[in-house]
A and B are shown apart, each in its own frame.
Chain A
Amino acid sequence: MSDTNTPFRRFWTEFRENKVAVFALAVVVTMILLALFASVVSPQNPYDLANLSLMDSRRPPGFVGSGGYTHLLGTDPQGRDLLSAIFHGLRISIQIGLAAGFVSLTIGTALGITAAYLGGRIEALIMRLVDLQLSFPAILLALVMVALLGQGKAQLIGALVAAQYAYFARTAYGAAKAERGKDYIEAALATPLSGRLVVWRHLLPNCTPPLIVVATVQIANSISLEATLSFLGLGLPVTEPSLGMLISNGFPYMMSGRYWISVYPGVALIILIVAINVVGDQVRDQFNPRLRK
């Protein structure tokens, strides 16, 4: 423990001790990089129909296609190189997961902190609504929202947000409620500082640790939820397949033994979700004061 000067350094020194978590973080970073540079690392542009040939469709891993290169993971029913499709699918899945996660974080935190800060009727109204929503399973809410909003990227994110903001609201409310009662907030409110400033400068920063933990878990959850919805055929349009859509496309061919079309995108999805969860677990342990030595 040499560098303990900034909170971030302290955090990282502790994080580094858990080898599994460091490995998981490396996996997450790698997958994000692969997603970012999908068009560079992929042997083929899977969205360009001119590149696709039906002659190459549903070929097993290792097949050398009409493009002259080896399809390491085989090809899908449209003749896309599966490895390229997975990189691009990863991009869409991560994009949707992050977008839904951040919008839910913003809306949920705003609602939770408003409820805790203002109290009274508004608190009762907001939290009653949030609790009510938490009693319904997220998949059902997302399903209803997709049915109501229709299909498309924005609609899908909307459905995921509607299904998930309540978790953030509950967490932010719990943290803010506890901080609200502490003396430093009372002291800050006694100064001429405006209420808004006290919330921004004092209340909000002290509520962030639990929110970060919930955010990691919920990003993994929204990626998984998006995949589930896409698998059910209720997610994104077919032209730009996410991982869930790729799995769904391959499903009918699984019965005839062409396992790779569904299995490999699924493996990518699971590695991503499990890795995010492992990182999230470690972050939670580090933020939990009860586990501190």
Chain B
Amino acid sequence: MLGFVIQRFLQAVLVMAAMSVIVFCGVYAIGNPIDIVIPPEATQEIREQTIRRLGLDRPLYEQYFIFIGNLLQGDLGRSFVYNIPVLELIGGRLPATLELVLISVISATVLGVSLGIYAGYRPDSWVSKTIMAVSVLGFSVPSFWVGLILILFFAVNLGWLPAGGRGETVEIWGIGWSFPTFDGLSHIVLPAINLALFKLAMMIRLARAGTREVMLTDTVKFARAAGISEGTILWRHLLKLISIPIITVFGLELGSTLAFAVVTETIFSWPGVGKLIIDSIAVLDRPVMVAYLILVAFLFVTINFVIDLVFALIDPRVRHGAAA
């Protein structure tokens, strides 16, 4: 087991190193950041001074090693545009994104599992068929389009909910959060629905497939024979049996929702990390792009590493197969 952990850990480190090289070189190759940072009317002297200050006159590999050295000390450079440390910039935006992602994924899971169990428990009722039809739409309709329709319907036509922004925030431990205030909560509803829809469809499918399978097993037959009520069977036995794949997907989806938040945040002008990165790509704010991509890669590598370990703990075939 220890060998497996070490092997996977080394693999993760290798992937991170490769990602950092690719991202750094790739981002370096686009545009000329000098033109953005320095106003065109600046004198030659100021130009050269700024280039030297930002380290843009050194060869590429040297810039990379300086970058990695700083990275390992927790310094990801300064944004060209905002002129504040990138980590501070991203850190300031992160709570907004996390709040949105967590609310979406959790509500999608709770609602999706309940609907999915119902659809699996009574597969022939019209309610179940409606649930499944809606879940197909959740899969195939692009999420930015759903966001537009939500805005058009609830914000423009009905005027019930705000179309963008975060609303009133409350400071908890020095960080602003939207969910404790009514105004903030009303701002979060539409983007959360938008972000949750795809996950909801997936959770419905997972829970439905699991339920249909489990309801045919001996466990359920014996429980019924023992006179246990249907409600207890569903809540005590079925839920436990279908939870393993659902927990796995929950973990995986947390990461991909974070990536998808880019789209939702842009539509609803939600001031999170996703909006920041789109704006940064538009103005070629190199340090922010590099830092964001590296952070996301780190997040994904970590999630995959943890999932690999969890699988190895649950399923001995995985760790023996990998060791051989």
> Hey, what's the 0/1 contact readout for B206-242 against A, CB within 8 Å counting as 1?
0000000000000000000000000000000000000
Contacts of A274 in B (CB 8 A): 137, 140-141
Check if B259 sits within 8 Å of A147, measured CB to CB.
no
Q: Given A137-B256, A232-B262, verify A273-B141 contact (CB < 8 Å).
A: yes
Check if A137 sits within 8 Å of B30, measured CB to CB.
no
* Residue of chain B at shortest CB distance from A224: B142
Nearest CB of chain B from residue A275's CB, rounded to whole Å: 10
Cα-based distance from A189 to B54 in the complex (angstroms): 61
Check if A147 sits within 8 Å of B144, measured CB to CB.
no
Please pick, from A144, A231, A254, A277, the residue contacting B152 in the complex, using a CB distance under 8 A: A254
Q: Given A150-B30, A257-B156, A277-B140, verify A140-B148 contact (CB < 8 Å).
A: no
A72 beta carbon closer than 8 Å to chain B? no
A86 beta carbon closer than 8 Å to chain B? no
> Hey, what's the 0/1 contact readout for A121-165 against B, CB within 8 Å counting as 1?
000000000001001110110011011111000000000000000
Nearest CB of chain A from residue B65's CB, rounded to whole Å: 21
Check if B278 sits within 8 Å of A227, measured CB to CB.
no
Check if A227 sits within 8 Å of B30, measured CB to CB.
no
A113 beta carbon closer than 8 Å to chain B? no
A105 beta carbon closer than 8 Å to chain B? no
Task: State which size class the interface on B falls in.
Answer: 35 or more
Restricting to B117-172, which residues have a CB under 8 Å from any CB of A? Answer: 137, 139-145, 148-149, 151-152, 155-156, 163
A92 beta carbon closer than 8 Å to chain B? no
Q: Given A147-B281, A270-B141, verify A255-B163 contact (CB < 8 Å).
A: yes
Please pick, from A137, A143, A228, the residue contacting B142 in the complex, using a CB distance under 8 A: A228
Contacts of B300 in A (CB 8 A): 135-136
Contacts of B155 in A (CB 8 A): 255
Cα-based distance from A93 to B205 in the complex (angstroms): 30
Please pick, from A148, A228, A233, A262, the residue contacting B26 in the complex, using a CB distance under 8 A: A148
A102 beta carbon closer than 8 Å to chain B? no
Cα-based distance from A105 to B135 in the complex (angstroms): 28
Cα-based distance from A150 to B281 in the complex (angstroms): 10
Q: Given A144-B293, A254-B148, A270-B141, verify A259-B263 contact (CB < 8 Å).
A: no
A31 beta carbon closer than 8 Å to chain B? no
B10 beta carbon closer than 8 Å to chain A? no
Task: State which size class the interface on A falls in.
Answer: 35 or more
A269 beta carbon closer than 8 Å to chain B? yes
Check if A269 sits within 8 Å of B262, measured CB to CB.
no
Cα-based distance from A262 to B141 in the complex (angstroms): 15
Check if A270 sits within 8 Å of B145, measured CB to CB.
yes
B100 beta carbon closer than 8 Å to chain A? no
Please pick, from B30, B137, B151, B263, the residue contacting A147 in the complex, using a CB distance under 8 A: B30
B309 beta carbon closer than 8 Å to chain A? no
Contacts of A262 in B (CB 8 A): 148, 152
Check if A259 sits within 8 Å of B142, measured CB to CB.
no
Among B140, B281, B300, the most chain A Cβ lie within 10 Å of the Cβ of B140
Check if A234 sits within 8 Å of B144, measured CB to CB.
no
3 tightest A-B CB contacts, nearest first: A148-B26, A140-B259, A137-B256
- Besides A224-B142, A259-B152, A277-B139, 16 more A-B contacts (Cβ < 8 Å) are A135-B252, A136-B300, A137-B256, A147-B30, A147-B281, A231-B266, A233-B282, A247-B145, A255-B151, A255-B155, A257-B156, A263-B148, A269-B142, A270-B145, A273-B140, A277-B140
